[in-house]
C-alpha cells in the first residue's frame, strides 16, 4: 500500500509549492463535498521505484474555535490521522513563531512520525538561522527550497526510509491466475457503492442508508461467484458496525486512492441522476494513471428519462473521453438490474489486463502497422521499429525496440495501441507503450 505523506504548517510557509514539487504537477485530486475543496488536496508522487500519496493542507491553527479557520484546522487533523509520515513545514525567513510551537505541540501528541522541513532555505544549509528550529523538539531540521527543488530528494528519502522498495518486475512475474480478483468500487459519496456490494452479497454486510460520505475506512469483503474468488473493496459507503470516529472521520480520499492502486479492476460508479462531475473525472484520471482496468457503471439508470440519458451519454463522451476503452454498463443496484452484464464486463477487463501477449505476434503486428503507416521522419532520421515484446501486465506494457525512437510521436503511439488492442481484443484496460533504443556497441563511451 502506498505510504501517505501529509504536509502541515502555518499559512504561507510554502506547503502548496512543496506539494507541487513532490507530485511534479500542478494538479490535485480534490473531493467536491463540503470542507474538502478548500484546503485538503491529494496527489501522487514517485521517488525511484517507490510511489507515495501527498496531502496538502491549509494553514493550521490548532486552537482555533470559529469560522473557516476552525474548519481548516479540522481538515488538517484529518490529514494527520490519514498520514504515515507528517512533514511539518516552517519558514526560515520569518523564523520560528508561536504558531509553529502550537503545531509542534499538537504533532507530538498525535503519535505520528514527523519530519521538520525548513523551507525557503536555498543556499542556507549551514546557516545559523536553522539552529532555532531545534527548539521545536522535532529532530534535525531538513533545509529545503520548494521553489528551487533544493533538499527535496533527501527529505523524501528520509520520509520513505521505513517503507520497503517494491521488487522489480513483481507486477509482471507474479500474476497468479488462481488469486482472488481485487475489485474496488469507487466513486463520489452517495452514488450507491455500498448498495451495489450488498446486492452482490445478498445480505446487509455493509449497512447502507441515504447519508453521503459515511464509510470511514476501505472495507474488504471476500466473495465467490461461479467458482471465481473476488475480494470486494468498498471505498466510501458506510462505517463498519461498532467503529465510529467522532472527532476525526476515518474515511478519506486516501482510502479510495490506495484501494484503486491495490485493485486489479475498478468499478467507477456514476450517479445517472447527477451526471458526470469534476470529482468523477478526477477519480477516473487517477484510475488511468494507476493503470487499473476499469468498468464504468451508471447507477440509477432507471430513474432518468430518455432525454436525460442522451445528455448523460454525451457528458460521458466529453468528460471521460480518456476512458473510451472502458465498457459502460447501465445498472440499478437497488433493483438488481444490469448486474449480469456488469460481471461479464469485470471478467473481460481482468482477462484483458492480465493477458499474455506473444512476442512473435506483437512483432508481426508492429511490422504490419509500420508497413501500413510509417512513423514521421524527424530531420534526417526516420524512427525504425524493429521488434516488440510484453513488458508487464495489469496494465499490459508493450516494449518496442529500435533506433531513433525518441522521435516517435504520441499520435503514432496511439495508432500502434489501437492496432494492438484490436488484434488482442483488449477491453477495459489501459495500455502502455514504451520505446527502448537499441544501443550501438561501437558508439563513443561504450568501447
Closest CA to 145 of 128, 130, 161: 130
Strands 384-392 and 397-403: antiparallel
360 contacts: CB under 8 Å, gap ≥ 6: none
- In order along its 447 residues, the chain shows pLDDT tens digits of 788 899 998 888 888 889 888 987 655 454 443 333 344 677 888 888 888 888 888 777 666 555 555 666 777 787 888 889 999 999 998 888 888 898 898 898 888 899 999 998 887 767 778 888 988 888 899 999 988 889 999 999 999 998 877 654 444 544 666 788 899 988 887 788 878 887 887 754 444 444 444 443 455 677 788 888 888 876 653 333 333 333 233 345 777 787 888 899 999 999 999 889 887 888 888 899 889 999 999 999 999 999 999 999 999 999 999 999 999 999 998 888 999 999 999 999 999 999 999 999 999 999 999 999 988 887 777 888 999 999 988 899 999 998 888 888 889 999 999 999 999 999 999 999 998 876 554 444 444
242's grid cell: 461498532
Q: Which strand (E) or helix (H) includes residue 59?
A: none
276's grid cell: 458526470
168-171: list long-range contacts, CB under 8 Å, 24+ apart. Answer: 168/49, 171/392, 171/393, 171/394
CB 313 within 8 A of CB 270: no
The Cβ of residue 96 has, within 10 Å, a number of other Cβ atoms equal to 18
Q: How far is CA 79 from CA 55, 75, 351, in A?
A: 7, 6, 37
Closest CA to 333 of 166, 199, 151, 145: 199
CB 9 within 8 A of CB 103: yes
DSSP string, 170-231: HHHHT--TTSPEEEEEEESTTSSHHHHHHHHHTS-SS---S-TT---S-EEEEEEETTEEEE
Q: Give the C-alpha separation, 52 to 22, whole Å.
A: 9
71 contacts: CB under 8 Å, gap ≥ 6: 35, 38, 39
328 contacts: CB under 8 Å, gap ≥ 6: 295, 296, 298, 316
Annotate 302-314 with b (16+ C-beta within 10 A) or e (fewer): eebeeeeeeebee
437's grid cell: 533504443
Q: Give the C-alpha separation, 148 to 261, whole Å.
A: 30
Torsion of CA 326, 329, 332, 333, to 10 degrees: -50
CB 272 within 8 A of CB 301: yes
The pLDDT assigned to 239 comes to 34
CB 410 within 8 A of CB 420: no
Alpha helices in 293-338 (DSSP H): 306-319
CB 373 within 8 A of CB 419: no
Domains belonging to the chain, first-starting first, are: 4-159 (3.40.50.300), 171-353 (3.40.50.300), 359-437 (3.30.300.20)
DSSP string, 110-165: HT-EEEEEEES-TT-TT-GGGGGGGGG-SSS-EE-BTTTTBTHHHHHHHHTTTSPP
| Neighbouring-strand partners of residue 8 | 88
Closest CA to 198 of 223, 171, 180, 178: 223
User: Looking at the chain, how many residues does it have?
Assistant: 447
CB 211 within 8 A of CB 177: no
Torsion of CA 163, 168, 169, 173, to 10 degrees: -70
CA 225-254-80 angle, to 5 degrees, is: 140
CB 83 within 8 A of CB 6: yes
The pLDDT assigned to 25 comes to 64
Dihedral class, residue 301 (left if φ above 0, else alpha if ψ from -120 to 50, else beta): alpha
Amino acid at each position: 500500500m502506498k505510504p501517505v505523506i501529509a504536509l502541515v504548517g502555518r499559512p504561507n510557509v510554502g506547503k502548496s509549492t512543496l506539494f507541487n514539487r513532490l507530485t511534479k504537477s500542478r494538479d490535485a485530486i480534490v473531493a467536491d463535498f463540503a470542507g474538502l475543496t478548500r484546503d485538503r488536496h491529494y496527489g501522487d508522487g514517485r521517488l525511484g521505484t517507490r510511489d507515495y500519496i501527498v496531502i496538502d493542507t491549509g494553514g493550521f491553527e490548532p486552537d482555533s474555535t470559529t469560522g473557516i479557520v476552525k474548519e481548516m484546522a479540522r481538515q488538517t487533523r484529518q490529514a494527520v490521522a490519514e498520514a504515515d509520515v507528517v512533514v511539518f513545514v516552517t519558514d526560515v525567513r520569518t523564523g520560528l513563531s508561536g504558531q509553529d510551537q502550537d503545531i509542534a505541540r499538537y504533532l507530538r501528541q498525535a503519535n505520528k512520525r514527523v519530519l521538520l522541513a525548513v523551507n525557503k532555505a536555498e543556499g542556507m544549509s549551514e546557516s545559523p538561522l536553522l539552529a532555532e528550529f531545534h527548539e521545536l523538539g522535532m529532530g534535525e531540521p531538513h533545509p529545503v527550497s520548494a521553489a528551487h527543488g533544493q533538499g527535496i530528494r533527501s527529505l523524501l528519502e528520509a520520509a520513505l526510509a521505513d517503507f520497503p522498495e517494491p521488487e522489480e518486475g513483481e507486477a509482471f512475474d507474479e500474476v497468479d491466475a488462481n488469486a482472488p480478483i481485487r475489485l474496488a468500487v469507487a466513486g463520489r459519496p452517495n452514488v450507491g457503492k455500498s448498495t451495489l456490494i450488498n446486492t452482490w452479497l445478498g445480505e446487509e454486510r455493509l449497512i447502507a442508508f441515504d447519508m453521503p460520505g459515511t464509510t470511514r475506512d476501505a472495507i474488504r469483503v471476500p466473495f465467490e461467484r461461479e467458482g471465481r474468488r473476488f475480494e470486494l473493496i468498498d471505498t466510501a459507503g458506510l462505517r463498519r458496525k461498532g467503529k465510529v470516529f467522532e472527532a476525526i472521520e476515518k474515511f478519506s480520499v486516501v482510502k479510495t486512492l490506495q484501494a484503486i492502486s491495490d485493485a486489479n479492476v475498478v468499478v467507477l460508479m456514476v450517479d445517472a441522476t447527477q451526471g458526470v462531475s469534476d470529482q468523477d473525472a478526477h477519480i477516473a484520471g487517477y484510475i488511468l494513471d494507476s493503470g487499473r482496468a476499469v468498468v464504468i457503471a451508471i447507477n440509477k439508470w432507471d430513474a432518468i428519462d430518455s432525454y436525460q440519458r442522451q445528455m448523460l451519454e454525451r457528458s460521458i463522451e466529453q468528460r471521460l473521453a480518456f476512458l473510451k476503452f472502458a465498457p459502460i454498463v447501465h445498472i440499478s443496484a437497488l433493483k438488481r438490474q444490469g448486474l449480469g452484464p456488469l460481471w461479464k464486463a469485470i471478467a473481460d477487463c481482468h482477462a484483458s489486463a492480465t493477458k499474455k501477449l506473444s512476442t512473435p505476434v506483437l512483432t508481426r503486428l508492429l511490422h504490419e502497422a509500420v508497413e501500413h503507416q510509417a512513423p514521421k521522419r524527424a530531420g534526417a532520421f526516420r524512427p525504425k521499429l524493429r521488434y516488440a515484446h510484453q513488458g508487464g501486465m495489469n496494465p499490459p506494457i508493450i516494449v518496442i525496440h529500435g533506433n531513433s525512437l525518441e522521435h516517435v510521436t504520441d499520435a503514432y503511439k496511439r495508432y500502434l495501441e489501437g492496432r494492438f488492442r484490436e488484434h488482442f481484443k483488449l477491453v477495459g484496460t489501459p495500455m502502455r507503450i514504451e520505446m527502448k533504443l537499441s544501443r550501438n556497441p561501437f558508439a563513443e563511451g561504450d568501447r
